[in-house]
Structure 1
């Protein structure tokens, strides 16, 4: 895919992301700062350049290295308005230097341009600006395409989120996609590296990024709940315990109710009527116990699926 197409596609995934009102700060906006190389920032700080930097880093391009919008006026190579294409970086003045605004070109509408940027109405959105106000149009060139930065345990941001997406697609990651390089993400990276004859160091560098692009989904293992039970799976053991407890409680609860109802009624309809009238608390318990059994079965199925995919071989 053309770099400009990659840029615009990646930027589009953030449309709608907005600041949080009041004193709280949206962690997803904070993650943009981190991906752009400035961790610890909050969403009350102008973040249009952070958004552009995070998107560029996500597609393997080197950002300007600054949170100043005008820093992108010298990034990449110069493009004229007549040559401009969707995905180009567009810089606008905003008051006196060094203030400005930066975003990605989406298209044209008469004498105005449509750009996709962060901090546009306090969110990522598409917005119209006069073409005459453009300060610079820049496009990625070889100097900006030196590959993705290495990421490791403890990192946060758009690149980590993209890593989690790729690992999940390949069957290595089954955790929450939160842009945080935690223990689960590191475990998935180690498994992927081991399967692809890479140095299993948990660090995602150029070789691991490249391997992810060409990798095929991990084949599923032939694993059953009985297999996991024999291996001493704690999850399966706990699920079995729910079934045993629910079964015992159901028998204890149901036998008196059924016996009394049969003794007091003749025929199906009277039996049902008697059950509902005289033993509704016991029947409610049975319904709850049935829900517990269904839950335990879902737990087992999820655990077996994780083992088959290789996303989680523990517990």
Structure 2
């Protein structure tokens, strides 16, 4: 099954159930933004652009349960009659597949000049800033067994107290796809079977993983650094562990937020100004200050993190099947 087919299947659900906000029509002098960046983070940054430029912004966000996948599905479904001007994603994999399917159009933003090549499309269909990191949420305090890498989640001492978001939506799907790319099908299948045997639970999103660990209902789980920060702000007793570091470690997945210009829309000059704004170092710094992201793409060589050695394009290839395969194994079914 191709990546387009997977997104198309999701689009049927998205269009049937509707969204919380209606996008502007093509004649409205606004810039319509579809974003999977958390609304409480995205809104002030978009409103700042609005107040400084006088360009009105209409925002459509996604739910936690369908993060990034839902909006990607909608954009593909609307390809013949696009309703968004800009896509601001909280990850890169769906963005790559949208670019491959002709949903995005080329724009070489001057703000992308300082962004390293691995964080932008060679044909200028998208660019990324503000790296988030996949981490292991660990209960802070008590007698939680030591967890230093993802394979430590197989520890019987954690049985029935480990969790992850359902991998068919959000950044968990990217991590699952990276694991299959790095290890191959047999070893990856065995890993997910071991998690199933150890009672791993799939939850409704990365935020729920961090919350449940912070509340003591779970001992450990796979999530993102920003969800750890949110759980801590809410009083959760949780810490984030960067997994698989050190010389022998496979590294963890770091994921840029991405910005792309949607093909086939009028008013592209206004939209390009917004793309420039979102790719600027000031917005990236604010995302990191808000603990949504953890590292700047512009200073990637100075990151204190070992990253998994798999190209983003290779991970995007696997998004068509790997998350569904992993979810089936975690549910106790054969893939």
Structure-2-length-normalised TM-score: 0.24
Larger radius of gyration: 1
More helix by share: 1
More strand by share: 2
